[in-house]
Amino acid sequence: MKTTSLFCYCIFLLCLYSNAQNDPIRVTVSGSGDPILLLSGFATNGDEAWQSTTELLTKDYECHIVNYAGFAGMEPVAFPWLPKVITAIEEYIKNRNLKKPIVIGHSLGGTIGIHLAANKELDISKLIIVDALPATGAMMMPDFKPERFQYESPYNDQMLAMNENEFTQMSLGMAAGMTSNVNGQKQIANWMQATDRKTYVYGYTDYLKFDVREDLRNISIPVTILGAGKPYGVETARANYTNQYQNLQQYDLKMNEDSAHFIMMDQPEWFLEQIQIALK
């Protein structure tokens, strides 16, 4: 009887360990050539978001699309979520021995890309940022302090308490502001609905706390920023970029006045053209 109880207890511990060891990232690799790391945005299926981009790039590059735990059908990981994701990406670059990788990051992926590019050990060769800021939380809070963003908050509690219908309606509304592409809106909403709810809520708190403005001082590689003019207009968006990227020595900022957040959906031809120009 004692042996049986001990066996069951060991299995229980093994299950706990296994659940705690879910991978923070999943990477899809295709193509051959110099490595490019493609980092997707928050609550996004990277494989789908970067599909047209990789169809173009795999002719000349080895593309590594990174998906994050809790998104795209991946199992969640223990919190804090974002530090685990970033550490996993850093370890992936080192363990795969990626030589002078290029990083292309959209939204959250662009902010992570800044952090990676500032790490000299990773030897990032080029950074392409797609509609991303180094401190998104600072846009929402004028007197920004990371510690003010906490998991336990009335807003987070409200988000966690939403039923599926309420969350679906919210996701459709948010998606409508991220792209004017009707099919793209449905796709974004589906990604959000497929995301683990706690990862969506607490992971976004991690995102808002994430401030890499000081990391910009340590970046000397070529940086291209592709910015969206909607919904606030090109001049307002440009001013936000100029303010948040003031610690970066040099960068090439290109704005598209007819695009919202998902530039690859709103202006696909322009987007791919700018990616090719940046890579050259």
**Is 253 inside a domain boundary?**
yes
DSSP letter string, 129-186 = EES--S-HHHHH-SS--GGG--SS-HHHHHHHH--HHHHHHHHHHHHHHH-S-HHHHH
**Is 144 inside a domain boundary?**
yes
How many domains in the chain? 1
**Is 32 inside a domain boundary?**
yes
**Is 2 inside a domain boundary?**
no
**Is 54 inside a domain boundary?**
yes
Q: By C-alpha distance, which of 220, 44, 60, 40 is closest to 113? A: 40
Query: Helix, strand, or coil here: 39?
Result: strand
Phi/psi zone of residue 260: left (φ > 0), alpha (ψ -120 to 50 degrees), beta? beta
**Is 5 inside a domain boundary?**
no
Whole domain around residue 105: which residue ranges? 25-279
| DSSP β-bridge partners for residue 253 | 225
Q: By C-alpha distance, which of 119, 105, 122 is closest to 224? A: 105
| DSSP β-bridge partners for residue 105 | 39, 129
**Is 3 inside a domain boundary?**
no
Pair of tokens at residue 260: 């919202």
> At residue 206, does pLDDT exceed 90?
yes
Strand order from edge to edge, sheet including 34-39: 25-31, 61-68, 34-39, 102-106, 126-130, 223-228, 252-256
- Give the separation between CA 236 and CA 230, rounded to whole angstroms: 10
Enter the pTM of the model: 0.91
> At residue 103, does pLDDT exceed 60?
yes
Average pLDDT, integer, range 204-216:
97
- Give the separation between CA 234 and CA 279, rounded to whole angstroms: 24
The model's pLDDT over 231-274, given as tens digits with 9 standing for 90+, comes to 889 999 999 999 999 999 999 999 999 999 999 999 999 999 99
Q: Angle of helix 108-117 relative to helix 81-95, nearest 10 degrees?
A: 50
- Containing 187, the helix (H) or strand (E) segment is helix 182-194
Distances (CA, A) of 38 to 105, 128, 130, 159, 276: 6, 10, 11, 29, 14
Average pLDDT, integer, range 179-196:
97
**Is 267 inside a domain boundary?**
yes
The model's pLDDT over 5-26, given as tens digits with 9 standing for 90+, comes to 443 433 333 333 333 358 999 9
CATH of the domain at 126: 3.40.50.1820
